[in-house]
A and B are shown apart, each in its own frame.
Chain A
Amino acid sequence: MHLSPDEIVYWQFGFFKLNATILFTWCLMLVFLIGAKLLTGLLSDKDERSRWQNTLEIIVLGIEKQISNVGLSQPRQYIGFLGTLFLYVALANLFTIFPGYEPPTGSLSTTLSLALCVFVAVPYYGIKQRGLKDYLASYTKPTFIMLPFNIIGEISRTFALAVRLFGNIMSGSMIIGIMLIIAPLVFPIVMTALGLLTGMVQAYIFFILASVYIAAATSVNTIQPPSSIEQAKEK
Chain B
Amino acid sequence: MDSLTMIAVTSIITSGITIGFGAIGPAFAEGRAVANALMALAQQPDASATITRTLFVGLAMIESTAIYCFVVTMILLFSNPFWNYFIAQSGN
Contacts and interface: CB of A to CB of B under 8 A. Distances in A.
A21 B79 CA distance: 18
B67 A167 contact: yes
A32 B13 CA distance: 45
Interface in B59-79: 60-61, 63-64, 67-68, 70-71, 74-75, 78-79
A201 B57 contact: yes
Contact of B74 (A170, A198, A202, A205): A170
B60 A201 contact: yes
B21 interface: no
Chain A interface size range: 10 to 19
A145 interface: no
Question: Mostly helix, strand, loop or mixed at chain B's interface?
Answer: helix
Given A3-B74, A3-B78, A163 B68 contact: yes
A58 interface: no
A191 interface: no
A168 interface: yes
A95 interface: no
A205 B53 CA distance: 11
Interface in A182-235: 198, 201-202, 204-205, 208
Contacts of B75: 3
B61 A205 contact: yes
A146 to B, nearest CB: 23
Among B56, B61, B67, B68: residue with most chain A CB under 10 A: B67
Interface string B1-27: 000000000000000000000000000
A119 interface: no
A94 interface: no
A168 B74 contact: no
A181 interface: no
Contacts of A167: 64, 67-68, 70-71
B67 to A, nearest CB: 4
Contacts of B64: 160, 163-164, 167-168
Contacts of A166: 71
A34 interface: no
B78 A168 contact: no
Contact of A201 (B56, B68, B71, B79): B56
A22 interface: no
B57 A205 contact: yes
Interface in B37-88: 56-57, 60-61, 63-64, 67-68, 70-71, 74-75, 78-79
12 contacts: A1-B78, A3-B78, A163-B64, A167-B64, A168-B64, A168-B67, A170-B71, A174-B74, A204-B57, A205-B57, A205-B60, A208-B57
Interface of A: 1, 3, 160, 163-164, 166-168, 170-171, 174, 198, 201-202, 204-205, 208
Given A164-B64, A166-B71, A167-B64, 9 more contacts: A1-B78, A3-B75, A3-B79, A163-B68, A164-B68, A167-B68, A170-B71, A201-B57, A204-B57
